[in-house]
Structure 1
Amino acid sequence: MLSQASKQALLSFFETLRIEVGSDIDIRVITPGLVDTRLTKEEVLEETNAQWVPKISANSCAKAIVDSTKRGDKYLTVPSWMKTILLWKTLCPEVTNSIMNFLFIYWPNISSKRGEVISQHWFYSTY
């Protein structure tokens, strides 16, 4: 939760800075999902009940950032399917919060009691 609050604070800061400096400085806001790095290894993700969230490769993320910068985009969300979550969060925050509570709090408790693990294979097959 602290991580999400700090991300929102940084987003607000840079949006305000963009207005204050005008066109003198280009400011780009990048909001990546889970990128496959040392910080997103299974042990770390299990601690936060996020092991089912698909990760993108560091190379794919870097390529998307470079391409976005070349185009002059002010915002970039990678992977692009995360835009859907952000839209839901904006339009239906209560529904999104309920779903996130279920996925990150309620479901892991149920599945751990049954000895089940939510796998990325299950997550991908639901698309």
Structure 2
Amino acid sequence: MAANDGWDYRQDSSDTTGVGKYLVSSTVRSLMVEHAEIAVALYRDRVKKRTGANARDVRIHTELSTGTRSGRTTTRWVAYVTAYSPHALAREFGSFRRRGRGFTGEHVLRDVARDLETGF
């Protein structure tokens, strides 16, 4: 189904044509996994290692994400990097266990994401 915007430009409204097919292809999924593996390697290199649990307990998963942009629904592969050690949340964002003296977070996952966005 095509829509006409008044300027004789026909816009395809289906999700699985042209770029839409490419965004849900196995090629894009493998690219997302590669980028996530780079993020995991950077995280493991940068995180402080006392016991090594933070560096070991990191996983990658991909999923199809659906979003709406400019009134059009798009589907694409997204990769997530998750640190799942018991204390990863406190290490990333900080904690206030001591009276008044809180531990500020390391923000390693945030910094890795920013570096990957900018192409470090």
Name the TM-score, length of structure 2 as normaliser. 0.24
Relative to its length, the structure with more helix (as a share) is 1
- Larger relative contact order (CA 8 Å, sep ≥ 6): 1
For the pair shown, the structure with the greater C-alpha radius of gyration is 2
The structure carrying a bigger strand percent of its residues is 2
